[in-house]
Amino acid sequence: MIFSSYNFIFLFFPVAFVGYWVITRFFGVKYAKIWLVAASLFFYAQGNILFLPILVGTLLFNYLIVFFLERVENRSRKAKVILLLALVENLGLLFYFKYYNFFIGNLNNVLGTDFILKSIILPLGISFYTFLILGYVIDVYKGRSKRSTFLDYSVFVTFFPHLIVGPVSRHDEFTLQLREEGFGRLNTRNVMLGILLFSIGCAKKILIADPLITHAQNFYNVMGTGNFFESWGGVIAYTFAYYFDFSGYCDMAVGLGLLFNIKLPFNFESPYKAVNYADFWRRWNITISMFFNEHIFKNIFHFGNKLWKLIFATLATFLVSGIWHGAGWHYIIWGLANGVLVCIANIMTIKRKKVPAWLGWFFTFLFTLLTRVLFDSNSMSQALGVFKRLADIRLLFASAGAFWGQCVTYIQGNVWVVILIVVGAAICFFAPNTKQISERFEPKWYHAVFAGALLTVSLFFMGQVSNFLYFQF
């Protein structure tokens, strides 16, 4: 079950929402939280009920970890052993489901062995809820967080808006809201803003992302026949598709959270307006970037260290980011390429080397398109093939008329895709993002009209909806 589906909008969510507030009104917040956990587990089970025991087992195991961590001295030897158990359990599960076949395949290639690959299905959301839990466990280990009640902890981990693809919330920031006096009271502003954000996210996904995803995937699936313009069209389409798909999901998640008086963090802040790559990664998938910064970068680099340490910490952080995103060498190269680009941006800042903002934006967006090829390809060989076609302008010198004729042919054959790219670009480069909309929001009648129009139009196209791209991570 996904947010942008009839089953979710007309069945699951109304029952979960009405049930939550009815239980709050007549039985109190405690039982409403229990209802929310039960509804969230039901929601998760719709993906594949066989993976529900893994989620529940991980939930229980790590609460025991936190229970024992609070009974030993912070950062002591005993605490380190307990933390190690948590790392082994969480990262071990992630390794098995996500990287086992990749590891065994490469081992066979290098050593000439013939270990058999397993038929493994990646549990939905495991990459994200693992980070939710690990962040909490590490904070308790370092003395930055305290153990909450099991019920509040369960709501934090299983809360269905952020369970599958984030955003990755911090435990203390999340559970503090569960204890606030106004938590169990229906907030009209939150409801109106929540509906607006959900409608915007739904429109992003269905009206813009899905058609662009179809076009881009068709290009990559038949890669080898695309000319210069078809290649750039496919790459640009996927670049905008990923943004509207992922940010659309996160907008819906934030909107749904507000309907329960829970404020989830925004995960995007106009990333395609960035003027350098360090700026880009402060705007894209913000909560995951903060997780890697907190738990990898800051454990390697400390204020006052030399430049080489900064470079090493940055590359190590993005190497881990690449590995986290997927089991494939193209993801690893993608991570390192982003690390190099962030290093260049940081060095320019340290050396006080400035370029005009428009030029910085141009090269940042250009390299975003090029690194996207590494991310979207199925392998390094396919990525290299796409790069070759992106640079193939031999026809321009042989016959300029034929070259530009290909451009006209591509536009004529993909008018709707080109329109969506232009509309998507206008939104990305000139429109306010949902964080800015939320900060300025004051309930008005036209917000209701706008949200209703977006959701109504989205519903007409919902029958063709696809899974969110980040479900595979």
| CA–CA gap between residue 256 and residue 13 (Å, rounded) | 9
**Percent of the chain scored above 90 by pLDDT?**
63
Cα–Cα distance, 51 to 71 (Å, whole number):
31
φ/ψ region of 36 (left if φ > 0, alpha if ψ in -120 to 50, else beta) reads alpha
Here the contacts of 418-421 (C-beta below 8 Å, separation 24 or greater) are 418/233, 420/208, 420/211, 420/212, 420/237, 420/240, 421/212, 421/233, 421/236, 421/237, 421/240
Distance CA 298, CA 371 (A): 25
Q: What's residue 327's pLDDT?
A: 81
Cα dist from 407 to 56, 216, 415, 419, whole Å: 53, 17, 12, 15
Rounded to two decimals, what is the model's pTM? Answer: 0.91
Is residue 352's pLDDT more than 70? yes
| Active site amino acids | 325
Q: Examine residue 271 and say whether the peptide bond preceding it is cis (omega within 30 degrees of 0).
A: no
Which residue, among 365, 381, 371, has the nearest Cα to 340 in the 3D structure?
A: 371
pLDDT at 465 over 70: no
Kindly state the DSSP code that residue 283 receives in the 8-state scheme.
T
Q: What are the tens digits of pLDDT across the range 227-265?
A: 889 999 999 999 999 999 999 999 999 999 999 999 999
Average pLDDT, the chain: 90
Residue 282: the pLDDT is: 94
Q: Which residue has the tokens 């993909």?
A: 414
Q: What is the pLDDT of residues 144-184, one digit of tens each?
A: 888 889 999 999 999 999 998 889 999 999 999 998 877 88
